[in-house]
Amino acid sequence: MLLMAIESKASVSQTQYRLVYDSSICAYSVYMIIVAGSTNPATVLNRKASTGQLSFVVPAGTVFGLQTPNEPKLGSYNAGTGILTRTTPMPWTTASYIGSSILAGSSLTGYDLQAFTPPTSNTWYPSLNVGDTVLLFSIKIATSSCGAGIRLFNNNTIQGSAVTGGDPSSAITGGGDFNNGLNVGSPAIQTYVGNAGGSSTIPSPAFATVSTNCTTSPSAFGLTVVSTPGSVCASPLTYSWTGPGSFTSSNPSFSINSPTAANSGTYTVVVKDANGCIITKAAGYNAIACSLIPLPLQLSSFTGTIENCTTSLSWKNTDEGNLMYYELQNSIDGSKFEPLNRIYGKGGLTNEYNYEYKAENGRRFYRLSLVGMNGKSIYSNVISVFTNCGNENISIYPNPTQDIVNLAGLNSGEIIEIYNFMGQLVKSQLVNNTVEQVNLGSISSGNYQIIVLNGKLRIKVGIVTRK
């Protein structure tokens, strides 16, 4: 019995998948995140690759290209010496592809499903510990919509328990099962508990600025857009200008000879890259004077919150016609501000932004400097955010649990919130003691995220499993 307990603790017990677009290699990378458990270096068998499945949801007709494998790797294990030698990364195998087999009326109508299975013949994972993020493979996926609609399948079942809001298997002709799963070790342990947050599947759009291009002899008004692709694989760029008097152009620059007042007004250029990512720049110009027409910079909101000891600053602008960039500034006293970061505008109307970073404990003040194309700037309102991460080290036990779980390291007045993996709140409890008992007997078996609220501070404590 003691040996079985040691073996259990020496195995990975919970994993998640994460999908991220990597602009440096122009491919989508899939990662395995270790949520719970670890591999004991002395017990090599718990690193052996076993069965599993990873499924993509993509717009109908999407073409998958070259795969670059990374984990698991081909290896040989000498039972006599206990030495494992790993060599070549082995590719994941295409399990099945559903094109026209999505039933009409399903939430997946208009999408294809592509499943991959890990190589399992003498393949091994590296040593794994809680918090590790392991690259499994990267794959080229042709996109003409800037990555829109490319994601991982959302399970409708995880480890035998139904998941509310998952993608429906019943939507697939023939009843194909595209639920994700991953078994690690020998004997195999089912470890998959969901898809990780923080996935980013949208390639970076091009960066673009517009400048005047005018001459006085002969008189001519012109504009030039200078643009840089967001990644090495985003070329070529295409351009689409519109302006007063039904003006259009598909060149990066244009010139209008002998301009009149009718040529003055708002000119808009849409820059599109090979991935279908779009950036729009629009501004008003006086064609005769060859100068910008001042347009309002309309910031509709600027807010700040704390989540898991991370400061999150968000703002929304309803008119970026003349905006060049935002300069985010911070201050410890609310009067002397210093630059924190520069964020370039997306152009056009109604854009939203979010910036996150780890701030030191205490109150800090923030504002935005909105810098226009003419070099002039205006300031936003000043907001303040208070950070206090003194009770970040909260422990959970026992885990897994049959019904009662204890949280230690709390403060009276805090609030415990329990969420399922669809992000739904299933239980909330006010804290009265430094060690608080939470009864999970009323919720179904599965894995749940624990959040502790302390005023505006939102701490992600960890995952608890109810048997």
Question: CA-CA distance, 38 to 132, in Å (whole number)?
Answer: 9
Q: How confident is the model at residue 359 (pLDDT cuts 50, 70, 90)?
A: confident
Residue 125 scores a pLDDT above 90: yes
Contact yes or no for 112/123 (Cβ under 8 A): no
The pLDDT assigned to 248 comes to 96
Interacting residues of 105 by C-beta distance below 8 A, sequence separation 6+: none
Mean pLDDT across 106-122: 88
- List Cβ<8 Å contacts ≥24 apart for 420-428: 420/163, 420/164, 420/446, 420/448, 420/449, 421/158, 421/163, 421/193, 421/194, 421/446, 421/447, 421/448, 421/449, 422/163, 422/164, 422/165, 422/166, 424/164, 424/165
pTM score, whole prediction: 0.62
Question: CA-CA distance, 420 to 401, in Å (whole number)?
Answer: 15
The pLDDT assigned to 98 comes to 67
H/E run at residue 234: none
- List Cβ<8 Å contacts ≥24 apart for 406-415: 406/435, 406/436, 406/437, 406/438, 407/435, 407/436, 407/438, 407/450, 407/452, 407/461, 408/434, 408/435, 409/434, 410/434, 410/435, 410/436, 410/452, 411/454, 413/454, 414/452, 414/453, 414/454, 415/452, 415/453
With pLDDT > 70 as the criterion, what percentage of the chain qualifies?
Answer: 88
Contact yes or no for 189/459 (Cβ under 8 A): no
Q: Count how many Cα atoms sit within 13 Å of the Cα of residue 164 in the half-sphere of its side chain.
A: 10
The pLDDT assigned to 456 comes to 56
Residue 306 scores a pLDDT above 90: no
Mean pLDDT across 71-86: 89
Please write the tens of the pLDDT for every residue from 191-215: 898 888 766 777 877 778 888 888 8
Residue 12 scores a pLDDT above 70: yes
Q: Which of 300, 234, 301, 241 is nearest to 270 (CA)?
A: 241
Interacting residues of 5 by C-beta distance below 8 A, sequence separation 6+: none
Q: How confident is the model at residue 457 (pLDDT cuts 50, 70, 90)?
A: low
Q: Write the DSSP symbol of residue 275.
A: T
H/E run at residue 441: none
Q: Which domains does the chain possess?
A: 2-195 (no CATH), 207-293 (2.60.40.10), 298-387 (2.60.40.10), 395-466 (2.60.40.3080)
Residue 107 scores a pLDDT above 70: yes
Q: Write the DSSP symbol of residue 8.
A: H
Residue 367 scores a pLDDT above 90: yes
Q: Using alpha carbons only, what angle is made at residue 452 by residues 447 and 457, rounded to the nearest 5 degrees?
A: 135
Q: Using alpha carbons only, what angle is made at residue 292 by residues 289 and 298, rounded to the nearest 5 degrees?
A: 155
Question: CA-CA distance, 452 to 428, in Å (whole number)?
Answer: 10
Task: Output the furthest CA–CA distance in the chain (Å, rounded).
Answer: 93
Mean pLDDT across 339-355: 81
Residue 352 scores a pLDDT above 90: no
Please write the tens of the pLDDT for every residue from 44-58: 888 899 999 999 999
Contact yes or no for 310/247 (Cβ under 8 A): no
* Alpha-carbon distances of 297 from 223, 322, 382, rounded to whole Å: 21, 7, 17
Residue 43 scores a pLDDT above 80: no
Question: CA-CA distance, 62 to 141, in Å (whole number)?
Answer: 7
Dihedral of alpha carbons 316, 305, 36, 82, sign: positive
Residue 384 scores a pLDDT above 50: yes
Q: How confident is the model at residue 4 (pLDDT cuts 50, 70, 90)?
A: very low
Please write the tens of the pLDDT for every residue from 224-267: 988 887 777 888 899 999 999 999 999 999 999 999 989 988 89
Contact yes or no for 156/166 (Cβ under 8 A): yes
Helix (H, G, I), strand (E, B) or coil at 214: coil
Two structure tokens written together for 423: 């992000």
Mean pLDDT across 153-174: 81
Beginning with the edge strand found earlier in the chain, give each strand of the sheet holding 310-319 in spatial order. Answer: 298-307, 310-319, 351-357
The pLDDT assigned to 2 comes to 25
Question: CA-CA distance, 426 to 404, in Å (whole number)?
Answer: 15
Question: CA-CA distance, 104 to 10, in Å (whole number)?
Answer: 46
Please write the tens of the pLDDT for every residue from 396-422: 888 888 889 998 888 888 889 898 877
The pLDDT assigned to 5 comes to 31
Question: CA-CA distance, 351 to 281, in Å (whole number)?
Answer: 12
Average pLDDT, the chain: 83
The pLDDT assigned to 8 comes to 40
Contact yes or no for 53/117 (Cβ under 8 A): yes
Query: In 10-143, which residue ranges form alpha helices assigned H by DSSP?
Result: none
Mean pLDDT across 11-28: 89
Contact yes or no for 289/263 (Cβ under 8 A): no
